Amino acid sequence: MNYELDKVSFAYDADVPALDAISFAAAPGERIAILGANGSGKSTLMRLLDALSFPTAGTMTAGGLPVTEQAFAEDAVNHAFRKRVGFVFQNPDIQLFSATVLDELAFGPLQLGWDRALILESVEKTLSLFGIENLRGRSPHRLSGGEKKRIALAATLITEPEVLLLDEPTNALDPESRTTFVNLLCSPRTDDKTIFIATHDLDIAEAVTSRTIILDRGRIAADGPTRVLLRDIELLRRTHLLRSHWHIGPDGRPVAHAHPHGHPD
């Protein structure tokens, strides 16, 4: 699905805009990382891309359709859009509501009217794909943060939406689940999906996306090829994305040490 944003702003309160005159176009099948420090507007942008919030200024279309409150007040429009777009929230507690993991996974397919045999088959496949067979009878609300995140990802991916909006998808995942997830996003089954990933996990941005948009206090600080932007140390420093690690200094205390991202070419 293509998106077009023209000087889109969004303000929760009248005074400070969370997004300030954002313009970009995304083509179907593009994979875009939305990077930015805490509070830079990533989640707000993702909510707009999912038509959960609407621009307070500027214009925006998704799949050629105007993203406005009026347009989405039509049930048919809203329903057709939801079928095509899957959103994984930053906070899985907002997303999960079923009594068991099985019900959670079956919910989307049921909504879409899939037949019973297909639902059962897809649920089993998804449980195994995400390595969560052992959680099938558990209540999603009583799982760990990382487990919840995996269930939310699985419940979104099961219906194979054409657009994936992933808000900090690897947050709270253990290293192995993170690898499984990246492999999944890079597997042939997701080849033609349009993907937006809001994150400050630069490794994920590099592995999964070819384009990166960096937000800084609600504005676009950069928009370009991921591999170019992630090597721009000054840009990363300016936008608070430069990663540090620590060495133990001669006095036994850690000394922070910043690196450009990634492996040398």
Ligand X SMILES: Nc1ncnc2c1ncn2[C@@H]1O[C@H](COP(=O)(O)OP(=O)(O)O)[C@@H](O)[C@H]1O
Residues that bind ligand X (CB under 6 A): 12, 18, 36, 38-44
Q: Binding marks (x or -) toward Mg ion, 4..43, rule CB under 5 A?
A: --------------------------------------xx
By beta-carbon proximity to Mg ion, the closer residue of 105 and 216 is: 216
The strands making up 3-11's β-sheet, listed across from edge to edge, are: 17-26, 3-11, 57-62, 65-66
By beta-carbon proximity to ligand X, the closer residue of 123 and 230 is: 230
Q: Binding marks (x or -) toward Mg ion, 36..75, rule CB under 5 A?
A: ------xx--------------------------------
By beta-carbon proximity to ligand X, the closer residue of 145 and 254 is: 145
Rounded Cα distance, 238 and 233, in Å:
8
126 touching Mg ion, by CB under 5 A: no
Q: In the complex, what is the shortest distance from the CB of residue 232 to Mg ion, in angstroms, rounded to a whole number? A: 23
Rounded Cα distance, 4 and 27, in Å:
9
By beta-carbon proximity to ligand X, the closer residue of 9 and 68 is: 9
Q: In the complex, what is the shortest distance from the CB of residue 8 to Mg ion, in angstroms, rounded to a whole number? A: 17
Choose the contact partner of 70 out of ligand X, Mg ion, none; CB within 5 to 8 A by kind.
none
Rounded Cα distance, 4 and 23, in Å:
8
Interface residues toward Mg ion, by CB under 5 A:
42-43, 90
